[in-house]
Amino acid sequence: MSVITLSVNGKEVAIPEGVSLLEATRAAGVDIPLLCHLDGLEPVGACRLCLVEVEGSNRLMPACTTAASEGMAIHTHTHQLLDYRRMAVELFFAEGNHICAFCVANGNCELQNVAVQVGMDHSRFPYQYPQRVVDASHPLFAIDHNRCILCTRCVRVCDEIEGAHVWDVGSRGSHCHIVAGLDQPWGEVEACTNCGKCVDVCPTGAIFHKEDTTAEKLRHSDRPALLKAARDEHVWRNQ
């Protein structure tokens, strides 16, 4: 395994060749907010919270999907980036219907957490109040599209880890939403094995166990990484 070196906020780090800029920031001990990224799933660069500045490039790059290369110099917490990140998080709140007070994920929600991380104490953008639906047709789980941030973690975990590929992304622009099967009620999709992995990885209160009520949804977003390590490297949690 060859090693490359690059700098993160002026600090030199050495990381294996072929990993992403996200691994470089981790090696430097720098915390950047992430929403769509989840260890164990293929990165897609959907949420744009992990954008970093790369010296010599006038484009901002998502750390989770950009390959690290020898000699790069990146910056993770410039004023511009802090400003954009807070704006991006405010837009997540403004474009959905997030009423934390009675949400199943209240106190245990990754969107709430990144809001704290970027210092969001209010939204400067007016709330849009989009018309969205709740699909409670599945016997065990439900999806409340009002809280979905389109991170596609559910799509990826169901496809990559469970192999059932129940979820997809449908429509465009502000109508974009997660669809089950062939845009069917979730409960009618025979491919669903009831494994609950999409519940585990959903960062918000969008997908949840029906028996959970306000603030009762627990976080299990570490599970894909554990399963992947078990399958690929035969490393189990208790080893």
Partner 1 sequence: MTTPDPSTPEPAAPEPSAAGLPDRPKLRLATVWLAGCSGCHMSFLDLDEFLFDLAAVADVVFSPVGIDTKTYPENVDVCLVEGAVANVDNLELARIVRQRTRLVISFGDCAVTANVPGLRNLLASADGSSQQAVLERGYLELADTGAQLPFAPGIVPELLPRVLPLHEVIAVDLFLPGCPPSAQRIKEAIAPLLAGERPVMEGAEMIRFG
**Residues that bind ligand SF4 in the complex, under the rule CB under 6 A:** 98-100, 103, 105-106, 109, 111-112, 143, 147-154, 157-158, 162, 164, 166, 178, 192-198, 201-207
Supply the minimum distance, in Å, between the C-beta of residue 47 and ligand FES.
3
Quick one: 37 or 156, whose CB is closer to ligand FES? 37
Q: In what order do the strands lie in the sheet with 207-209?
A: 134-135, 141-144, 207-209
Window contacting ligand FES (CB under 6 A); options: 35-43, 94-102, 133-141, 209-217? 35-43
- Residue choice 36, 103, 164, 192 for contact with ligand FES (CB under 6 A): 36
Q: Which residue, among 183, 173, 177, 204, has the nearest Cα to 36 in the 3D structure?
A: 204
> Which tokens is 78 given?
């410039």
Give the number of other CB atoms < 10 A from CB of residue 71: 10
Using the 8-state DSSP alphabet, how is residue 227 labeled? H
* Distances in whole angstroms, Cα of residue 216 to Cα of each of 103, 138, 199: 9, 19, 13
Supply the minimum distance, in Å, between the C-beta of residue 33 and ligand FES.
8
Query: Taking CB under 6 A as the rule, does residue 37 contact ligand FES?
Result: yes
Q: Kindly tell me the burial class for residue 225, based on how many C-beta atoms sit within 10 Å of its own C-beta (0-12, 13-18, 19 or more).
A: middle
Residue 37 touches which of ligand SF4, ligand FES, partner 1, none (Cβ within 5-8 Å per kind) = ligand FES
Supply the minimum distance, in Å, between the C-beta of residue 93 and partner 1.
7
Strands 167-170, 51-54: pairing kind: unpaired
Query: Taking CB under 8 A as the rule, does residue 129 contact partner 1?
Result: yes
Supply the minimum distance, in Å, between the C-beta of residue 130 and partner 1.
9
* Distances in whole angstroms, Cα of residue 158 to Cα of each of 71, 155, 161, 180, 232: 37, 6, 6, 11, 17
Q: Which residues bind partner 1 (CB under 8 A)?
A: 93, 97-103, 106-107, 112-113, 115-116, 119-123, 126-127, 129, 131, 215
